[in-house]
Structure 1
Amino acid sequence: MRAAVLAVLLLGVTACGAENANAGGEWKPRGDVRMIVPFAAGGGSDLAGRAVAAALEKAQPGLKVTVENREGGSGAVGYSAMLGKKGNGNYLLATENAILSLPLSGQVSFTRKDFTPVAKLAEDGGILVVKKDSPYKSCSDVVNAAKGGRVSVGMSGAFGVDNVIFTMIEQKAGVKFQRVPFESGGELVPAVLGGQIQIALLNPGEVIGQFRSGDLRGLCVTTDKRYAYPELAGLPTAEEQGIDVSYVQFRGIFAPGGLDGRERAYWEAAAKGVTKTAEFQKWLKDNYLQQSELYGDAFGSYLDQVGTDLEPLLKKSS
């Protein structure tokens, strides 16, 4: 009798473990996966999260990834929501530079090490943009105007990549901008068109439609080289205009902290399939990004290095 009970228990344990394993004993997510985007719909982070979710589904047949926007606190609300999923491999998060700048700003208690780095997949730079009838013709004009008066700049989040770039410009040029934070890049476009702000810092994918229509103009880009894309190739870098500033935004994936080796291995392998999909390549092209890949520990090391570089800049400005 005792042997029979033991056999039943062993079968039960084996069956439970098999629910999240394939024939080779590797882990697989159980049911639908949730991709948290820590910013509002319509901005660059939202576009990135949805594109990566679609590419994951294509790269892993049978996988279902549902996107959930958790905006607020310049990304802090979404990242905090992910903290509560520790050890749960059925959650992912669309990450970008806010995971480094938020902790350095002192606004949150978590750091990037509270999450599992899965993959860095792409990079995009910022473009300083104005209305078509703005008196500013270059980023140098903006800096000179800020030396003698008030210049209002819109930012996607108070502590994200926009804050970093404007802080860099302020420190290099000895100026101060009037900052107006918004929850996403999607809110910046109507704000600059409506005259609520004079300058916006936007990713190419967020503003290319307004460039084509002529409603907005680009002044300079924050990449170290000009864009190769024909529609953006005419925009000079900030450095070409005498502003020694270069900074790009990465686009990547986090999983919750506390995952075991099998779960990490599954998501890293799945992410490596993302860049091979037509969905991902279309997102790159449509939004004028550059493919740039790092996985697992290599992605973690990259984050540590960028965080080290940012620390003196952001602590000086706080």
Structure 2
Amino acid sequence: MRAAALLAILLATACGATANTAGDWKPRGDVRMIVPFAAGGGSDLAGRAIATALEKAQPGLKVTVENREGGSGAVGYSALLGKKGNGNYLLATENAILSLPLSGQVSFTRKDFTPVAKLAEDGGILVVKKDSPFKTCTDVINAARSGRVSVGMSGAFGVDNVIFTMIEQKTGVKFQRVPFESGGELVPAVLGGQIQVALLNPGEVIGQFKSGALRGLCVTTDKRYTYPEFADLPTAKEQQIDVSYVQFRGFLAPGGLDGRERAYWEQAAKGVTKTAEFQKWLKDNYLQQAELYGDDFGKYLEQLDTALAPVLKKPS
């Protein structure tokens, strides 16, 4: 009996040691959050908001944001690719993680990274400057049928490219694309007449909307915004343009992490949406909270990847 009792104690001790070992990983020193686009755009705002919320959700955690722009996001993603197995690095991700590989411009895919969390969704608004002759998205399509319409994009393979490609496929028109590195560069480009139309997130244009410098033509969400500042804007579908697409906001870790590192970051991510800082970012930038973690986020990426494949075919 004494032997059986001793065995039970040893087994319990061993199980406890295993459980503690599985949950004792923490980042060593500062964590680096890579933002694969320039400062000032929606991706930069998202990365900084998530970094701040992570610090609030995990007392003692320090997250430093680093902009690694270039190649429509490829430079930043490639930087994370080189940190395989290093749990001290993160990346503020959005739809470029899928559109870049589908474009055939990079060698990596979503499978090379560790999906941590999808936290929010960000809709798009087609905007023009206040004195533009375009009053609706239908006006833009009609103009493109008979002439040149220049459209700006924050990255040649970003969400803007996806939406404009969808519009082209649905309507048969062709736009003249003018790529920029971030949404922050698109606003002055529209205001300065370098481009006629841009697709921007609400948070990127709210100041110009309030001042009257920019006007919205339609939104690319399934339903109209409930935010009063944008509630009057019709959807593209309401204007007989059968397109809807949103940009997700979240973060990845490098590939090759072990179970303890994955568990730490997924748990940390679940605390992000509970912070006042994150909720303020949602409200200030007119986003919708939309959460998926770990494997569920990975499945979402797989499904979206499949849906995007017909839109962004690799060059033959």
- TM-score (normalizing by structure 2): 0.93
Structure 1 residue 22: deviation in Å? 7.8
Structure 1 residue 313: deviation in Å? 1.3
2:90 maps to which residue?
A: 92
Structure 2: how far apart are the matches of 1:139 and 1:311?
25
SS class of match (2:61): coil
How big is each residue's C-alpha offset from its partner over 1:49-102, in whole Å with a ceiling of 9 and x where there is no partner?
000000000000000000000000000000000011000000000000000000
How big is each residue's C-alpha offset from its partner over 1:215-266, in whole Å with a ceiling of 9 and x where there is no partner?
0000000000000101010000000000000000000110000000000000
Q: 1:75 aligns with which of 73, 76, 96?
A: 73
Structure 1 residue 312: deviation in Å? 1.1
Structure 1: how far apart are the matches of 2:44 and 2:68?
10
Match runs of 1:181-220 below 5 Å: 181-220=179-218
Q: 2:139 aligns with which of 134, 138, 141?
A: 141
Shift in CA distance, 98/290, structure 1 to aligned 2, threshold 3 Å: same
- Kindly indicate whether residue 275 of structure 2 is the aligned counterpart of residue 277 of structure 1: yes
**Structure 1 unaligned regions, length at least 5:** 1-20
1:118 maps to which residue?
A: 116
- Read off the aligned partner of 2:268 and give its amino acid letter: A
Structure 2: how far apart are the matches of 1:83 and 1:22?
30
SS class of match (2:156): coil
Structure 1 residue 26: deviation in Å? 1.8
Contact kept in structure 2, 1:22 and 1:28, CA below 8 Å: no
Q: Size of the alignment, in residue pairs?
A: 298
1:14 maps to which residue?
A: none
SS class of match (1:258): coil
2:37 maps to which residue?
A: 39
SS class of match (2:312): helix
2:237 maps to which residue?
A: 239
- Kindly indicate whether residue 284 of structure 2 is the aligned counterpart of residue 286 of structure 1: yes
Structure 1 residue 23: deviation in Å? 8.5
Moved over 3 A (4+): 21-25
Shift in CA distance, 164/22, structure 1 to aligned 2, threshold 3 Å: same
- TM-score (normalizing by structure 1): 0.92
**Structure 2 unaligned regions, length at least 5:** 1-18
Q: 1:258 aligns with which of 246, 256, 259?
A: 256
1:151 maps to which residue?
A: 149
How big is each residue's C-alpha offset from its partner over 1:269-290, in whole Å with a ceiling of 9 and x where there is no partner?
0000000000000000000000
2:27 maps to which residue?
A: 29
Structure 1: how far apart are the matches of 2:20 and 2:82?
27
Contact kept in structure 2, 1:167 and 1:317, CA below 8 Å: no
SS class of match (1:255): strand
1:52 maps to which residue?
A: 50
Structure 1: how far apart are the matches of 2:115 and 2:133?
44
Structure 1 residue 317: deviation in Å? 8.1
2:101 maps to which residue?
A: 103
Structure 2: how far apart are the matches of 1:236 and 1:64?
42
SS class of match (1:170): helix
SS class of match (2:60): coil
